Amino acid sequence: MLIAVALTSAAMLAWPTLSAGGGARSLTTSAAVQLINREKAVVIDVCEDAEYTAGHVAGARHAPLSQLEQKLPGMVKNKATPVILVCASGARSNRAVAVATKLGYEQAHSLTGGMRAWREANLPIEKA
């Protein structure tokens, strides 16, 4: 019985890491702001056009997830530059991290909670 409890506890602790898209690197809003300020990270919004127009991270560039593979190399030429991928809730940006990593970007990160978390933290938003 104790072994079953221990295995269940271990599985529950490991679940957030495993369910994050196979090791997708996620950032909190405060960690994202630090990365932007200290390392000049580039913010890429992977939302669709209407979502991007309604509000996005100040200074973010726009590349819908469906077009990310074609647009990202032209937006961020240095693959060592930190890239923060943002969507409405964080789900699409986790998939975008996989695309960026496949393209060779060494520091691709997803914003945990997406624009919802960014707004809740009262961080700057632009509307197009």
CA atoms within a 13 Å half-sphere pointing along the CA-CB vector of 105: 30
pLDDT at 16 over 70: no
- Count CB atoms within 10 A of the CB of residue 115: 25
The pLDDT score that the predictor gives to residue 75 is: 95
The pLDDT score that the predictor gives to residue 25 is: 84
Average the pLDDT over 11-38 and give the result.
75
Q: Strand pairing partners for 109?
A: 84
pLDDT at 34 over 60: yes
The pLDDT score that the predictor gives to residue 2 is: 83
Average the pLDDT over 85-94 and give the result.
93
